[in-house]
């Protein structure tokens, strides 16, 4: 029987029941629902609804249930209860009889589900933080290994200036660090207890909600009951954090897919994260990376779905809000799995040094160096830029790199060019000159690795 059967003379249509029930996904809130119920039973003692003795009986039964569901959460799915709240209550009544029916006094499923979901988020966010940090660790390990792996850096997917693979790794370290603080911010904001707000107007029992919040491990209790049962900001914030985090992972994946292409051939992916083609025996496909890239769409979809669901919803609780959970669970699971895969991909990655270096040397990636050289000899930058442009056209016509032109050939473009231009045009010099904070020079990358390690050690 449903929790609310009294007002009804007809049973729900089976098809409606299936449509309406949320147990198949909210069973994941079982632990939180039980923990919330234990705290609520304690609160009911303070307002003389339960005796100490009764509370102890309820708490014992709930703790036993907690152990049971922790061991095997899927067992819940065998029930035809409407949702996790009904399921826990049913189980409790089965265990302790009529006493179990007292627990819902002064409480509503509206403040209950809000509490459960926030508790779940509080449990899940640290799991994600840990996974984000593991990937950060792997990025630092990889950066450390490949400090001397020079490769082309791109803008517009055109070879622009040489960088190192280490510098590339540390770019993603920065993105993940922002993802971490974004999650921490969201966590701090959601750490407020809804319990004791009742259905919408507050509970009619004089419960100390701050104490209740404290028992549940929340920083404090919410301020306004109408807002509390309607608020799903934390769902939207976590989905936004996940969507941005996946956005970063999609760029990571796409970069590596390009680096791994036959055309670039900069990296070799491990057999552990690639698959073959059923038809073409020569192929080794970057599936792990492609799936990371693909799943980004699904996580962003969850965010836009939630934004639409909550848009224009009148206060306070509406059943629309039940739609919050499936997409949140799926998006956070997906983000977690993709972070894990990204770390696995990095772990087995090999760099093709020769090929990376060769590509960095091609494409006139040292053209800026020649311009800077002319500037140092007193040529205004705009003019220098123009001269080098002409030199590049000349070099392309001869199918040679800038540094492969003879001094006489170079002097055609500017008489100020001397023998001392050649060391300037080397890859080593291109890298070493970018020695301001955040630049690609080896000394800066070393500092960045040290800073990154410090950040890792504080997590
Ligand atoms: N399954 C519901 C949800 O996820 C629980 C709250 C039900 N409240 C209600 N008034 N029907 O939102």
Q: List, for residues 122-167, the tens digit of each pLDDT value.
A: 999 999 999 999 999 999 999 999 999 999 999 999 999 999 999 9
Q: How far apart are CA 293 and CA 338, in angstroms?
A: 9
Residue 161 forms beta bridges with which residues? 153
What pLDDT score was predicted for residue 10?
A: 87
- The arithmetic mean of pLDDT across residues 268-283, rounded, is 83
Query: Which token pair is 125?
Result: 């966010």
What pLDDT score was predicted for residue 284?
A: 82
pLDDT surpasses 90 at 190: yes
Asked if residue 33 has its Cβ within 6 Å of ligand 1, the reply is no
Backbone region of residue 363 per phi and psi (left: phi > 0; alpha: psi in -120 to 50; beta: other values) = left
Over the stretch 59-95, which tens digit does the pLDDT of each residue have? 999 999 999 999 999 999 999 999 999 999 999 999 9
* Largest pairwise CA distance in the chain: 101
Q: What is the mean pLDDT of the chain?
A: 96
Whole-number CA gyration radius for the chain: 30
Count CB-CB contacts under 10 A for residue 324.
21
Asked if residue 165 has its Cβ within 6 Å of ligand 1, the reply is no
Asked if residue 109 has its Cβ within 6 Å of ligand 1, the reply is yes
Backbone region of residue 161 per phi and psi (left: phi > 0; alpha: psi in -120 to 50; beta: other values) = beta
Judge contact between 425 and 403, C-beta under 8 A: yes
Q: State CA 82 to chain mean position distance.
A: 31
| Ligand 1 closest atom vs CA 82 | 1
Instruction: Sort strands 192-193 and 220-221 into parallel, antiparallel or unpaired.
Output: parallel
pLDDT surpasses 90 at 281: no
Contacts made by residues 280-289, CB under 8 angstroms, sequence distance 24+ = 286/256, 286/257, 286/260, 288/341, 288/344, 288/345, 289/253, 289/254, 289/256, 289/257, 289/260, 289/345
What 3-state DSSP class applies to 72? coil
Asked if residue 321 has its Cβ within 6 Å of ligand 1, the reply is yes
Residues whose CB is less than 8 angstroms from the CB of residue 251 and which lie 6 or more positions away in sequence, other chains included: none
Candidates 261, 275, 277, 304; catalytic one = 277
Asked if residue 29 has its Cβ within 6 Å of ligand 1, the reply is no
Over the stretch 191-214, which tens digit does the pLDDT of each residue have? 999 999 999 999 999 999 999 999
Residue 280 pLDDT grade (very low, low, confident, very high; cuts 50, 70, 90): confident
Residue 411 pLDDT grade (very low, low, confident, very high; cuts 50, 70, 90): very high
Separation of 109 CA from ligand 1 center, angstroms?
6
Backbone region of residue 274 per phi and psi (left: phi > 0; alpha: psi in -120 to 50; beta: other values) = beta
Residue 1 pLDDT grade (very low, low, confident, very high; cuts 50, 70, 90): low
Asked if residue 26 has its Cβ within 6 Å of ligand 1, the reply is yes
Q: How far apart are CA 284 and CA 303, in angstroms?
A: 33
Examine the residue annotation and report whether 156 is marked as an active-site residue of this protein: yes
Over the stretch 213-233, which tens digit does the pLDDT of each residue have? 999 999 999 999 999 999 999
Separation of 121 CA from ligand 1 center, angstroms?
17
What 3-state DSSP class applies to 337? helix
Q: How far apart are CA 419 and CA 137, in angstroms?
A: 45
Judge contact between 137 and 180, C-beta under 8 A: no
Separation of 110 CA from ligand 1 center, angstroms?
6
What 3-state DSSP class applies to 358? helix
DSSP state of 278: S
Q: Is the pTM of this model over 0.85?
A: yes
pLDDT surpasses 80 at 406: yes
What pLDDT score was predicted for residue 8?
A: 83
Examine the residue annotation and report whether 426 is marked as an active-site residue of this protein: no
Separation of 240 CA from ligand 1 center, angstroms?
23
């Amino acid at each position: 029987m449903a929790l609310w059967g009294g007002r009804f003379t007809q049973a729900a249509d089976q098809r409606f029941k299936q449509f309406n029930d949320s147990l198949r996904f909210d069973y994941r809130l079982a632990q939180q629902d039980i923990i919330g119920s234990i705290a609520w039973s304690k609160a009911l003692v303070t307002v003389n609804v339960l005796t100490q003795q009764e509370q102890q009986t309820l708490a014992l039964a709930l703790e036993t249930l907690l152990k049971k569901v922790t061991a095997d959460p899927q067992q819940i799915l065998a029930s035809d209860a409407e949702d996790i709240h009904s399921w826990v209550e049913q189980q409790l009544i089965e265990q302790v009889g009529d006493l179990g029916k007292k627990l819902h006094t002064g409480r509503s499923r509206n403040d209950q589900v809000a509490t459960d979901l926030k508790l779940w988020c509080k449990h899940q966010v640290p799991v994600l933080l840990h996974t984000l940090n593991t990937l950060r660790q792997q990025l630092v390990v990889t950066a450390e290994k490949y400090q001397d792996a020079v490769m082309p850096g791109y803008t517009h997917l055109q070879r622009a200036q040489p960088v190192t693979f280490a510098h590339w790794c540390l770019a993603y370290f920065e993105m993940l660090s922002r993802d971490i603080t974004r999650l921490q911010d969201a966590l701090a904001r959601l750490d407020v207890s809804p319990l004791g707000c009742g259905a919408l107007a507050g509970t009619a029992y004089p419960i100390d909600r701050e104490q209740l919040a404290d028992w549940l491990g929340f920083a404090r209790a919410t301020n306004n009951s109408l807002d509390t049962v309607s608020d799903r900001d934390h769902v939207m914030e976590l989905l936004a954090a996940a969507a941005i985090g996946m956005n970063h992972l999609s760029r990571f994946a796409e970069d590596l897919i390009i680096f791994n292409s036959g055309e670039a051939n900069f990296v070799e992916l491990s057999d552990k994260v690639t698959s073959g083609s059923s038809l073409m025996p020569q192929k080794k496909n970057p599936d792990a990376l492609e799936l990371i890239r693909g799943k980004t769409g699904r996580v962003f979809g969850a965010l836009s779905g939630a934004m639409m669901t909550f848009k224009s919803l009148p206060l306070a609780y509406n059943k629309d809000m039940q739609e919050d959970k499936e997409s949140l669970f799926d998006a956070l699971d997906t983000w977690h799995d993709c972070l894990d895969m990204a770390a696995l991909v990095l772990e087995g990655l090999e760099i093709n040094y020769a090929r990376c270096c060769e590509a960095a040397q091609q494409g006139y990636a040292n053209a800026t160096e020649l311009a800077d050289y002319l500037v140092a000899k007193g040529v205004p930058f705009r003019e220098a830029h123009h001269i080098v442009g002409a030199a590049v056209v000349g070099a392309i016509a001869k199918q040679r790199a800038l540094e492969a032109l003879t001094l006489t050939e170079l002097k055609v473009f500017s008489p100020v060019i001397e023998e001392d231009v050649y060391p300037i045009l080397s890859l080593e010099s291109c890298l070493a000159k970018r020695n301001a904070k955040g630049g690609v020079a080896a000394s800066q990358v070393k500092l960045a690795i040290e800073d990154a390690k410090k950040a890792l050690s504080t997590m």
